[in-house]
Structure 1
Amino acid sequence: MWQTLALGALLFPALFAACLRSLARLAPGWSRKDRIVLSGRLVSSTQAMMATLSGIVVICSCKDVVHDRHWLAQEYVWIVVSYMTYDLYIMYLCYWHKSEEKGEAPRKHSLASMTGFLRRERLMVTHHIFILVILTPVAVHLRGELGDFFVGCIYTAELSTPFVSLGKILMQLNLQDSLLHKVNGILILATFFLCRILLFPFMYWAYARQMGLPIYKVPFRIPFHCNVANALLIAPQLYWFALICRKAFRLYSSSPSPDRNR
């Protein structure tokens, strides 16, 4: 536990610092804000790929979705803890530098600055704190030795993150009208829907198949707190998916038609 937590606490800040230093050499004309934002997205994508691969390994190793164990299900929780803690600070850093560029930033690390950040990013901050305060104890202690398969499923929810980050990076590079951005938009929709929306019915279906139950009986057979946790997890995903669909509609509806190009 402590070794894994320490590894994550060192890994993500080190990756961020390395990206920041590399961008200073590769793009010296960029502002510090742009370098910080891009570095944060690159580290976020790295963690997402690590989580997805860990989840796939756990899922493929657990034939019995209730009782089978895999060490990654437990150990990667501490990587998630270290990443979420790191990411809260990087989110604040990005917020402050964006505000500073607009001339709206109060003194760094002041109460006014922190309050503005919490107000602006309240949903993402709540999401991170929920994972740290609620899901971590559940994943490590309260579930006992059951459900590594489902922990692996939750890890794979990160599959959409690299595509979301790539979309933001392309916009940062003023490539929002490129074909790559449009193709990436489709991949965001597909991976987000599969791994953050359909993931939850899939977990209920996997349990139903294991237990020989119809899927509609599963919510009444599993502990109540599991249903509550799933509901709290899927609620922000549905909200974010609606936002993604709205942005995708604007992106594709604004594409020039053949008649306009004549």
Structure 2
Amino acid sequence: MEAEETQLLLGIYALVAWFSLYLLIAGVLRMWAAHLPYAHRALITESCVSGVQGVACASVGVATVIACRRDVMGEKFAPAVYYAFIGMAYFVYDLWAMYRSHIAKLSEPEYTVAGVVSYVKKHLLMIVHHLTIVIVFFPTMVYYSPMGHFFLGSFFCTELSTPFVNARVILSRFGYKNSKVYVVNGVLMMIVFLICRIALFPVMYIAYLSQQTTASSHIDALLSIPLTCHLSCLLVLLPQIYWFGLMVKGAVIVLKAGSSEADKDD
């Protein structure tokens, strides 16, 4: 009981910390980047906080995977549990941060019914993704999953791509969209995203099957996994595939534009 109370308090403190970090960065941008439109500053602020969370989460994820790799079904790693509550606090905060960015882009008054409806329509997939992680994924992985923390750490590792995604947004808003740094970051973003957010899922299953010795076959071993685990993986994976598709589509557009410019120069 004491551990659960500590975890809950940690989540509350983390929530305050995420909001405070957002307000701190927003204040710095008001002083040092006042020339940028408010919508740009709001998005940069959201991206900076997201980048911090991505680095922290991925670091805990890598440490957890390394600590639990020899026994993926049984090994536990306490820091992973505590960071789960920090992560839940972040996703709750991020729903508010995304709303702030959305409203800033529309130049509408904050906290209106029309603004909320517009936000939900525009970001429905991301909202469902966040709520699924907070309400279903983290509680299931921390309290109800019979598996070790290797898998929780693996999910944390999906955040390895987040700093690249946010760097892309920040570079764009600061006017570096046509720079080589932006292009290199975009390539790295797609590679890391593919590895850490899509390829990671079959890797987790392979790691499980490689150490599963009680079942008579791999199929029986897969069937022995609780349905909630499969559904959690699917709910997290499907948005990743969709977003990666958008990245590929954007990259194709940029390449076609570059080819057209080259043809004109010739």
Q: TM-score, normalised by structure 2?
A: 0.91
Q: Which residue of 2 aligns with 1:98?
A: 105
Q: Which residue of 2 aligns with 1:72?
A: 79
1:40 aligned to 2:46? yes
Q: Aligned ranges for residues 94-243 of structure 1 at < 5 Å? A: 94-100=101-107, 105=108, 107-143=109-145, 146-212=147-213, 218-243=221-246
SS at match of 1:174: coil
Q: Deviations over 1:63-89 (max 9, x none)?
A: 200100100221111001110111000
Q: Deviations over 1:185-229 (max 9, x none)?
A: 111110110000001000000001111577565432312221121
SS at match of 1:232: helix
Partners of 2:29 and 2:197 in 1: how far apart? 32
Change (3 A) 1:46 1:215: farther
Deviates more, 1:44-53 or 1:108-117: 108-117
Partners of 1:202 and 1:217 in 2: how far apart? 18
Q: Where do 5+ consecutive residues of structure 2 fail to align?
A: 1-6
AA in 2 matched with 1:153: S
Task: Report if the CA contact (8 A) 2:95-2:130 is conserved.
Answer: yes
SS at match of 1:255: helix
Deviates more, 1:113-122 or 1:218-227: 218-227
Change (3 A) 1:238 1:218: farther
Q: Deviations over 1:43-82 (max 9, x none)?
A: 0000000000000010000120010010022111100111
Partners of 1:159 and 1:216 in 2: how far apart? 31
Deviates more, 1:58-67 or 1:20-29: 20-29
Q: Which residue of 2 aligns with 1:253?
A: 256
Aligned-residue RMSD, C-alpha: 1.7
Partners of 1:255 and 1:11 in 2: how far apart? 43
Q: Which residue of 1 aligns with 2:3?
A: none
Task: Report if the CA contact (8 A) 1:205-1:215 is conserved.
Answer: no
Identity value in percent: 28
Task: Report if the CA contact (8 A) 2:10-2:85 is conserved.
Answer: yes
SS at match of 2:258: coil
SS at match of 1:64: coil
Q: Where do 5+ consecutive residues of structure 1 fail to align?
A: none
AA in 1 matched with 2:188: L
Deviates more, 1:233-242 or 1:218-227: 218-227
Q: TM-score, normalised by structure 1?
A: 0.92
Task: Report if the CA contact (8 A) 2:39-2:101 is conserved.
Answer: yes
* Divergent runs of 4+, >3 A: 212-218, 256-262
Partners of 2:251 and 2:77 in 1: how far apart? 38
